Amino acid sequence: MSDDSAKAAQPRRTRRRFLAMGGGAIMAAAVGVPVTRALTKRDPDRVVFPTAPPIRIDNVTVIDPIDGSRRPRQSVLVRDGRITAVTNSAAATTADVRAVDGAGRFVVPGYNNMHVHTLQGADARSYLATMLAEGVTGMRQMAASEDLLRYRAESRLPLTEYAPALLAMPGALISPFNAGSADDARAEVKRQKEQGADFIKIVVYDREPFLAALEQAREEGLVTAGHLPPDVSVTEASKLGYRSIEHFGTGSNIWINCSTRYDTLWGREQAALPIPQWVLGLPLADEVMAGQQNKRLINPAAFAREEAVALLGQALDTFDEAKARELARTFVANGTWQTPTLVRLRTQYLADAPEYRQDPGFALMSSDERAERQDVLKTFDSLPATTHDIYRKAYELCKRMVGIFHDATVPMMTGTDGQGATPGQTMRLEFGEWAAAGIPPLDILRAATTGPAAYLGRSDRMGRIAAGMDADFLLLDADPLTDAANLSSVSAVIRAGHHLTRDQIQAVADQAATGDHAAGLRTVTCC
């Protein structure tokens, strides 16, 4: 048995300890969708996605993320939602289609936000349109429910031409609430396979349910993604076939793995936090716990235990780049993907940054939620100076780790862990953080396009501007290969063949945000 596999789980906690340590935050996350569903009076109406008329975009420079080449004076012909030809504009003679002059603009594949929670909101239309306006034409939803899976099968999700394509969606989070034991975990994975889940998202605290969920998912032909229990190292998870690790695995796990004091620090992170039976037996337990834990979901760092922060600090102080590079080689060898969600980590660790206090995303929130977030910020502001110092160091190391992974060719994808307009969590800001980590613009573009295509096994349909590809692409006002900021210079979006200017999309987003249906819109950021 390997050293990783031999790590024993710590003793189980009492119910008071479970709640005090924040176990309820994961419960709130795991049951967030059922709570929303309970407030819905009826199933949403069916959505008919309109077919786009043929269109030709002329005189553009086509960017190929594969080799970084630029092809000027090109025309892109689109029919029935697919690119049918890319030719020199001088030779483009198709007379029966609408022609749009794209002179001076650069065409790139649409971006993919591979970690979102957009569909968990009470009404997602404004958030979806906001995402599309910044160039996101595809998304991986990271938590759902039996109802959301059914809504997708019945075309009841609000996925119009003003929304990104839904690329993949799991069922409910595999959590202590539905997977308190190995048997429960296996049963839940089987159930989600039957419900139509595309993958399994895991956030359990216990080792045995985690391992059981991984094994059962493999038997069902489903990939896994998510967090790590404190007693399963990132190295072991990679070797076991964990397909995608989100936010570096959460907690201190990855930093302990890369510490010169691994043997001393490993096992000190709290583990084994099963949801007690007394909680499961409570009437409306999920709604009660969700209501109590919303603030923890807004920013877990504001409520971290003193001993957990101290452990994080010790792991950061003993960080060994050689160990980090060894871990990166392990990820490459095992095909383990990373979705760093730097903007989520930044808004947690640097929540007091002045730019977050006037973020445009606040305009979409209800007054109650704005007040709730202000309360969380006050809690964060009141943390000891030593805690703030550790958090600042943690975020700088997150960026450094992205650079280490990039140098080692670890496969990575862009993601924000928000809904589309969550304060501080947009793709524009995510691109900026990758650039601050030293990632070249071309590789940021790849992480948003060809990377997700490869991860999903859809490189034959998405990620490039070529005949046969889905007609999901962008017109940019500036060259994205010269400056990462230019990735956000979106002039227009072609979504499934529909030509939509940024202003058109933003108008739809604004209308949805101010309509009666949007009263009390609540952002969801989790896991």
Looking at residue 414, what is its pLDDT? 99
| DSSP reduced 3-state for 499 | strand
Give the integer Cα–Cα distance in Å for 496 and 493: 10
Give the integer Cα–Cα distance in Å for 482 and 131: 23
**HEC profile of 295-349:** HHHHCHHHHCCHHHHHHHHHHHHCECHHHHHHHHHHHHHHCCEEECCHHHHHHHH
Give me the half-sphere count of Cα atoms (radius 13 Å) on the Cβ side of residue 38. Answer: 11
Number of neighbours of residue 228 by Cβ within 10 angstroms: 26
Number of neighbours of residue 263 by Cβ within 10 angstroms: 10
State which H helix or E strand residue 492 sits in. Answer: strand 490-495
For residue 165, what are the β-bridge partners? 138
Burial of 226 (0-12, 13-18, 19+ CB in 10 A): buried
pLDDT by position in tens, the chain (length 527):
444 444 433 434 433 333 334 444 444 444 444 434 444 468 999 999 999 999 999 999 999 999 999 999 999 999 999 999 999 999 888 778 999 999 999 999 999 999 999 998 777 999 999 999 999 999 999 999 999 999 999 999 999 999 999 999 999 999 998 999 999 999 999 999 999 999 999 998 899 999 999 999 999 999 999 999 999 999 999 999 999 999 999 889 999 999 999 999 998 875 434 444 444 444 444 444 455 467 888 899 999 999 999 999 999 999 999 999 999 999 999 999 999 999 999 999 999 999 888 887 777 777 888 888 889 999 999 999 999 999 999 999 999 999 999 999 999 999 999 876 678 899 999 999 999 999 999 999 999 999 999 999 999 999 999 999 999 999 999 999 999 999 999 999 999 999 999 999 999 998 988 864 444 445 556 67
Q: C-alpha distances in angstroms, 373 versus 361, 376, 436? A: 12, 5, 27
Looking at residue 251, what is its pLDDT? 87
| DSSP reduced 3-state for 493 | strand
| DSSP reduced 3-state for 156 | coil
Give the integer Cα–Cα distance in Å for 382 and 6: 40
DSSP letter string, 65-97: TTTTEEEEEEEEEEETTEEEEEEEGGG----SS
Quote the pTM value.
0.91
Which residue, among 512, 501, 474, 465, has the nearest Cα to 106 in the 3D structure?
A: 474
Q: Are 37 and 47 in contact (CB under 8 A)?
A: no
Give the integer Cα–Cα distance in Å for 222 and 305: 35
Give the integer Cα–Cα distance in Å for 160 and 132: 11
Tell me which CATH homologous superfamily contains domain 15-47+109-518: Metal-dependent hydrolases (3.20.20.140)
